């Protein structure tokens, strides 16, 4: 974790340079506000962003003519983007009072480092944890030719406390008459014996300031993201017994968000509510403590900046409601660019194949002309080895409109089609890591010859996706094979018909069960409550008569068939209640149970029938192992129509 304290020497910064430097400070705060740790757990998202940026400035008191240091922003807890912007915007703009030495260069007598490197300011930030790294960045347009003994002692004590100090010299146009290299050499000799001090000299243009902001932002991200390590293993030895190369992986861009989202937050901690994970209720609870919050404890007008930063707003009018982009998507061509000079590190996102639109339903001449223009454009760009840079307010990966411009490049190909890729903007590009220590290492001819010979042994061929199988089908086939060996598909709770019962029942019973598609069995207590009503009982009698006697199986009530027990166990209690009329009793007495079910009635598990819904569903696979006898359920078939023999009349 890194704490950075920026000290701006306003005495030497001209108003135009100070204006650009203020914008750089604001950009750094904006980058840090939308940064988030690599962990995607809910606990990490609920934690606020730790404050790790400090801002001080040096100025000359016009009355006492003494150099003073003021603290504009001090990190004391959670990072406040609003307070940091307020501190930067209120830096005094009339503090430019340059002093010149004999050679015409800007000079400053006192750096006031002792006012920063003490227990009240820098040493108190972040506590006394050993994992904290502190750094002071002094930005000035002065060359400090001499350092007094007090300043050297302060720098030496800072080195003992693992605090680094970086002197950033921004050369201005007014210093072109001075001997800048000689002054820099004198200063480097004074800090040469201090390992914690460094000196950087820049010309403050737009690229330089943007690079400094990205460099400082990467230092702040060291505590948020871990650098990935990798190694490339070869099938052959590259040099001696070495067959691998270890590397560090880092991204070349930092993709920013597409919009600012309105949200609700709590006043106690200022953390937005995660509406996607919470159940919508009338009461809201604090994301940190879980305590229920009242109406006055909520901030309805908040804007979410990244995952950990919010801004309190008077209204949501500044936030656009971004919708799906209407088709067709417009890409505005800005410029041509040489593909040889294009850094592939700034190309991000997926590739989209671009082909000319042609429709026979439209005007054929217009469609053919569109195809011809596309082919000629692709051919010319390919011959020039150039691409077209375009801008759009659409993010093609999300197919939504964006609040900010997105840049794309249209790449030609030899095949006659083109490819559209996303390009990183100025806010997204990160500087290339420092590789000066790699370039200065000499390489012998033996290493070069050995590595070249090893590379020539690796097979060379054009990449064909068909010849590079990732093993998806093989793995899925094995999973399906294991699933088949596991056994039957478990039946759902509503579908009590199991495969084991279907396989064990006799053919006659199975045929009867297929015919009973419209029969539904209900609970006994439901039947008893219905039979208590005389009108309902008469209706059930009529439906039974239609089903059994008149062969009319269509019944208007689902209560036409009860959850019957075996013949005498069902009919006798119903008859003893006295609630059924004689006609219904005679019909129930005439019902006979199939002989197959009578033989299975001896099992104790058949005393109670479960609710069964018989439907024509696909039967699950028969399990390889033995079925559980407790889960077997008897399938009720359609009642057998009694056979009434007519008596022959005697003549």
Residue 314: other Cβ atoms inside 10 A: 7
Least confident segment among 10-14, 336-340, 416-420, 503-507: 503-507
For residue 347, cis peptide bond before it (omega within 30 degrees of 0)? no
Q: Judge whether residue 225 has pLDDT over 50.
A: yes
Select the more confidently predicted residue: 202 or 300. Answer: 202
Q: Judge whether residue 650 has pLDDT over 50.
A: yes
Instruction: State pLDDT tens for residues 387-411.
Output: 999 999 999 988 888 888 999 999 9
- Give the model's pLDDT for residue 557: 44
Report the C-alpha gap between 647 and 651 in whole angstroms: 12
Q: Is the distance from CB of 50 to CB of 85 less than 8 angstroms?
A: no
Residues 6+ apart with CB under 8 A from 227: 248, 249, 250
> For the chain, what percent of residues have pLDDT higher than 90?
21
What's the rounded mean pLDDT across residues 321-332? 85
Report the C-alpha gap between 79 and 49 in whole angstroms: 6
- 25-29, 43-47, 259-263 — most confident range: 25-29
Mean pLDDT score of the chain, rounded to an integer?
A: 74
H-type alpha helices, 194-311? 206-221
Q: Please give the backbone phi and psi of residue 78, each rounded to the nearest 5 degrees, phi first.
A: -85, 145
Instruction: State pLDDT tens for residues 88-138.
Output: 999 998 888 877 665 556 666 677 888 888 888 888 877 666 678 889 999
In the chain, count of helices (H) and strands (E)? 17, 18
Q: Judge whether residue 638 has pLDDT over 60.
A: no
What 513-516 contacts at long range (C-beta under 8 Å, 24+ apart), as own/partner pairs, is 513/614, 513/635, 513/636, 513/637, 514/616, 515/637, 515/638, 516/614, 516/636, 516/637, 516/638
Residue written as token pair 């409550």: 529
Pairing type for strands 163-170 and 197-202 reads parallel
- Give the model's pLDDT for residue 76: 80
What does pTM read for this prediction? 0.64
Burial environment of residue 31 by CB neighbours within 10 A (0 to 12, 13 to 18, 19 or more): buried
Q: Judge whether residue 629 has pLDDT over 50.
A: no
Residues 6+ apart with CB under 8 A from 422: 347, 348, 349, 350, 396, 397, 406, 407, 408
Q: Judge whether residue 237 has pLDDT over 60.
A: yes
Instruction: State pLDDT tens for residues 150-184.
Output: 888 888 888 888 889 999 999 876 555 566 788 78
Q: Please give the backbone phi and psi of residue 285, each rounded to the nearest 5 degrees, phi first.
A: -120, 155
Counting Cα atoms < 13 Å in the Cβ hemisphere of 615 gives: 6
Residues 6+ apart with CB under 8 A from 11: 58, 59, 60, 67, 95, 96, 97, 98, 99, 108, 142
Least confident segment among 201-210, 232-241, 351-360, 505-514: 505-514
Residues 6+ apart with CB under 8 A from 636: 513, 516, 519, 521, 564, 609, 612, 614
Residue 288: other Cβ atoms inside 10 A: 14
- Rounded to 5°, the CA angle 308-314-320 comes to 70
Q: Judge whether residue 189 has pLDDT over 60.
A: yes
Q: Judge whether residue 23 has pLDDT over 60.
A: yes
Structure tokens at 409: 């490049």
Instruction: State pLDDT tens for residues 553-587.
Output: 444 444 444 444 444 444 444 444 445 567 666 66
Report the C-alpha gap between 136 and 197 in whole angstroms: 10
What's the rounded mean pLDDT across residues 455-473? 87
Helix/strand/coil percent split, the chain, to 5: 30, 20, 45
Residues 6+ apart with CB under 8 A from 228: 248, 249, 250
Structure tokens at 635: 């399938």
> Using CA atoms in the order 320, 324, 329, 331, what is the torsion angle rounded to 10 degrees?
40
Instruction: State pLDDT tens for residues 612-622.
Output: 444 445 555 55
Residue written as token pair 């991200």: 221
Least confident segment among 248-257, 325-334, 592-601: 592-601
End-to-end Cα, the chain, rounded Å: 115
Q: Judge whether residue 60 has pLDDT over 90.
A: no
Instruction: State pLDDT tens for residues 245-288.
Output: 998 887 777 778 787 877 777 777 666 765 544 444 455 777 66
């Amino acid at each position: 974790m890194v704490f950075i304290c920026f000290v701006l020497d306003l005495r030497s910064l001209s108003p135009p340079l100070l204006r650009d430097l203020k914008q750089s400070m604001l950009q750094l705060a904006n980058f840090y506000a939308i940064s988030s740790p690599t962990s995607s757990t809910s606990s990490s998202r609920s934690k606020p962003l730790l404050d790790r940026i400090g801002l001080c400035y040096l100025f000359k008191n016009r009355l006492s003519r003494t150099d003073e240091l003021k603290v504009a922003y001090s990190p004391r807890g959670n990072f406040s983007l609003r307070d940091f912007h307020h501190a930067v915007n209120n830096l005094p703009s009339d503090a430019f009072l340059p002093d010149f030495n004999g050679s015409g260069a800007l000079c400053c007598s006192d750096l006031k480092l002792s006012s920063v490197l003490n227990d009240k300011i820098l040493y108190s930030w972040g506590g006394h944890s050993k994992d904290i790294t502190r750094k002071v960045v002094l930005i000035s347009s002065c060359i400090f030719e001499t350092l007094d003994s007090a300043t050297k002692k302060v720098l030496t004590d800072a080195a003992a406390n693992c605090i680094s100090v970086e002197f950033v010299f921004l050369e201005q146009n007014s210093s072109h008459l001075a001997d800048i290299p000689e002054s820099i050499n004198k200063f480097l000799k004074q800090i040469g014996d201090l390992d914690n001090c460094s000196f950087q000299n820049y010309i403050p243009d737009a690229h330089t300031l943007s690079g400094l902001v990205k460099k400082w932002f990467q230092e702040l991200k060291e505590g948020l993201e871990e650098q990935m390590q990798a190694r490339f293993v070869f099938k052959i030895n590259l040099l001696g017994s070495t067959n691998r190369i270890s590397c560090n992986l880092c991204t070349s861009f930092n993709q920013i968000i597409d919009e600012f989202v309105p949200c609700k937050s709590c006043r106690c901690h200022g953390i937005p509510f995660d509406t996607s994970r919470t159940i919508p209720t009338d009461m809201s609870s604090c994301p940190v403590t879980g305590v229920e919050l009242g109406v006055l404890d909520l901030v309805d007008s908040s804007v979410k900046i990244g995952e950990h930063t919010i801004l309190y707003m008077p209204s949501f009018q500044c936030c656009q409601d971004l919708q799906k982009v209407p088709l067709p998507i417009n890409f505005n061509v800005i410029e041509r660019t040489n593909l040889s000079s294009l850094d592939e590190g700034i190309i991000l996102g997926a590739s989209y194949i671009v082909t000319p639109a042609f429709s026979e339903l439209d005007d054929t001449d217009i469609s053919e002309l569109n195809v011809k223009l596309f082919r000629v454009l692709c051919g010319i760009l390919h011959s020039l080895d150039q691409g077209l840079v375009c801008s759009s307010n659409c993010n093609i990966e999300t197919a939504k409109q964006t609040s900010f411009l997105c840049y794309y490049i249209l790449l030609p190909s030899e095949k006659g089609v083109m490819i559209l890729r996303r390009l990183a903007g100025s806010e997204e590009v990160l500087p290339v890591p420092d590789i000066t220590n790699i370039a200065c290492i000499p390489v012998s001819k033996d290493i070069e010859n050995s590595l070249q010979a090893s590379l020539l042994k690796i097979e060379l061929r054009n990449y064909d996706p068909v010849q590079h199988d990732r093993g998806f089908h093989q793995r899925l086939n094995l999973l399906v094979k294991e699933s088949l060996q596991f056994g039957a598909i478990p039946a759902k709770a509503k579908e009590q018909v199991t495969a084991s019962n279907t396989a064990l029942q006799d053919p006659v019973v199975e045929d009867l069960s297929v015919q009973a598609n419209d029969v539904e069995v209900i609970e006994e207590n439901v039947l008893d409550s219905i039979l208590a009503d005389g009108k309902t009982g008469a209706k059930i009698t009529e439906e039974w008569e239609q089903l059994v006697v008149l062969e009319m199986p269509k019944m208007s009530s689902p209560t036409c068939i009860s959850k019957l027990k075996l013949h005498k166990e069902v009919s006798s209690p119903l008859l003893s209640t006295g609630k059924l009329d004689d006609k219904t009793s005679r019909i129930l007495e005439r019902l006979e149970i199939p002989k197959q079910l009578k033989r299975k009635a001896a099992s104790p598990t058949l005393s109670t029938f479960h609710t069964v819904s018989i439907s024509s569903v696909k039967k699950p696979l028969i399990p390889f192992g033995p079925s559980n006898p407790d889960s077997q359920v008897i399938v009720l078939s359609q009642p057998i129509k009694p056979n009434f023999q007519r008596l022959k009349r005697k003549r």
